Amino acid sequence: MDKKELIEVLKLMEEAGVQAQLCDTPVPVSLTRVPCGPLTELGNEDIDDYVMLPKSLVGNHPEMYVPAIGDSMVGAGYEDGDQLRVRFGVEARDGDNVLVWVDGGCTVKTLFTDEEGTRWLVPQNDKYNAIELTEDMDVRILGVVIGVEKANVRASSRQLLQCIRRTKNNRRTAQRLTSEKVDSLIVQIGEEVKHARQWFAVYKAMVEYEVQQACDYQGFCTRIRVVLPEHTHLPESKEIGRMEVQSFAKPISMWVETNAPASGARFRDYHRIALTMLDYLSQK
């Protein structure tokens, strides 16, 4: 179809009451998947394809389609493989779902400021805690999610505050946990541990819940040996320390298989054990 024929078709559609727009603006599609949960690097050159959209829909700010991975944003309708349409260079507001760079990697979460003025990255899945943004973190909001095949790209303030309050309550609960209660939970989770290195997932959950000092691998391993001396797979401090790399050095909600020291079924086992221990801790 040449330009003259195209103009005629557009004219006929307009006369018929159909508002037609010419898709003449390319929007890139990234190869790199960003986690709705864990954290990963986003390559700025990984362009797989382009989607043509009308200029009036794209506007003056650059945009990109980014595939989603993970389940921490299921409440917003983001599921594994969804194409998130991200607009760069716009100011993010409370309640916006944002593509954000945190300490060397990217993730998608909901931005929110609580009543104390603290900024958070809030998941929309009750399995995960909110991530508090502190001054010592390298945080850059890259863009705002403005579209997805699913609806509801924003969350209500009530939902976000509920998640933040739940996170704060978890912290207060952790402070009330006695050593005996934690030991009983270690015995309980010990039934899930089938390999010595899997104790790292338990260590990480305890650190996140503030019942274990970070980087005290020897103290953690000693505690496991005292509580479960007959366990078939007892941890070694050097092995536990070696696991805290890549995404495993981040909070559990930011773990991602593509950037972890374990993959496949092994990664899923670590993730399951960590979430299970967090669940045990939160119920006490």
Alpha-carbon gap, residue 229 to 58, rounded angstroms: 62
Alpha helices in 154-216 (DSSP H): 157-176, 179-190, 199-208
Alpha-carbon gap, residue 59 to 223, rounded angstroms: 58
Alpha-carbon gap, residue 164 to 180, rounded angstroms: 28
Beta bridge partners of 83: 67
Closest of 152, 87, 163 to residue 120, by C-alpha: 163
Alpha-carbon gap, residue 221 to 227, rounded angstroms: 10
What DSSP designation does 96 have? B
Take residue 243 and report the two structure tokens written for it: 């696991």
Beta bridge partners of 35: 69
Alpha-carbon gap, residue 280 to 260, rounded angstroms: 24
Alpha-carbon gap, residue 164 to 158, rounded angstroms: 10
Alpha-carbon gap, residue 30 to 51, rounded angstroms: 11
Q: Which residues form the catalytic set?
A: 72, 109
Tallying the residues shown for the chain, one arrives at 284
